[in-house]
Amino acid sequence: MKKPLTIFLIGAPLFALLLVAIRIYYSAVVWRYQGPDADFIITPNENFASINTRLSREHLISSARLFHRYSQFKGVLNKFKIGHYIVRHNSNLLDVFNIFINEKSQVMLFTVPEGKNMYEIAHMLEASSITNYIDFINLARDKKFLEELGLHTDSVEGYLYPESYDLTPNLSARSVIKLMVRQFQKKIATVDFSNSRMTPRQILILASMVEKETGDKKERPIIAGVFFNRLKLRMRLQSDPTTIYGKFEEYNGNLTRKDLITPSPYNTYTIPTLPIGPISNPGIDSIKAVLNPALHKYLYFVSQNDGTHIFSESYEKHEAAVEKWQKNAKNREGRSWRNHKDADDKEK
């Protein structure tokens, strides 16, 4: 009787271990996700428990417990990176683990062009399915959130640095704004503001205006110089882009005389100072142009309809330039600042 009992006492645990091993093998290797390729996005600040729960709830893995134990065994519980991943049809648990740990996330290159304002950027983000327009704009004006970012302003305008970013779909507006503001802070840390009589905020405001006024990089210091000359003489800056920004959410593309004479904190036709805040998000070159404006006597400039301008010292010469370049229909056709850019590139 002792021998069968001994066999049972030894065999039963071994058999139980075998069953456990078979179950683990089945869950880790044999079981396969049978749905179509699935998008899975890990959001900023999401912890492993949340990731694991969602994988299980969406039936992308066979066992949340096993996925947790395996990740713990591999020492990677805190190494699941934010991003957009694709769990492929017929993946097993080990395949899914490998996707998150060893593969790069699916990202898109999202470019913020120089001179775009926060409304335009929000529309671009929504069109790319990155984040929601309303959420972005509401947060861009949330003073408590702005304080968290170190910005003592009414909006994030001016601080969304124009650059290309690797982003994924369905990100929170909070994470996108934080990313762009951090990039602004990183870039601006290399700039010396000490030699300017303006505050950094005033420099940013003026740089946002310079950015909107020209598509030619070589003109930025000249236009900055025009604005400085007018400010010294206490002349109104009379910049169309500032007036447009003051009514941007209702702007239909047509700037009227009524708009120019309607007072607003951004209408530089009616106020003798800088607008109350930035009107776009300038690049570092426009900021440097304001810090190092060209020295000249120009007080006026008018577009040549190709992104470049004619500069004048007197109102009479300015009127003549307006007559030639703005009132002459022929001179308003078929011109682009890119022609100048192409010529500059050839010279190099």
Give the homologous superfamily in CATH for domain 31-106.
Endolytic murein transglycosylase (3.30.1490.480)
In this prediction the pTM is: 0.71
| pLDDT above 50: residue 343 | no
How would CATH label the architecture of 108-188?
A: 2-Layer Sandwich (3.30)
| pLDDT above 90: residue 167 | no
Secondary element (H or E) of residue 228: helix 220-232
For the chain, give every residue range classified as CATH 3.30.1490.480. 31-106
Average pLDDT over all residues of the chain:
88
| pLDDT above 80: residue 92 | yes
Distance CA 162, CA 338 (A): 19
| Contact by Cβ (8 Å): 207, 282 | yes
Q: What is the mean pLDDT of residues 217-235?
A: 96
Q: What is the three-class DSSP state of 164?
A: strand
Distance CA 74, CA 122 (A): 40
Amino acid occupying residue 256: T
| Contact by Cβ (8 Å): 133, 121 | no
User: What is the DSSP code string of 290-316?
Assistant: HHSPPP----EEEE-SSS-EEEESSHH
At 134 the pLDDT is 97
At 336 the pLDDT is 42
Q: How many CB atoms lie within 10 A of CB 96?
A: 20
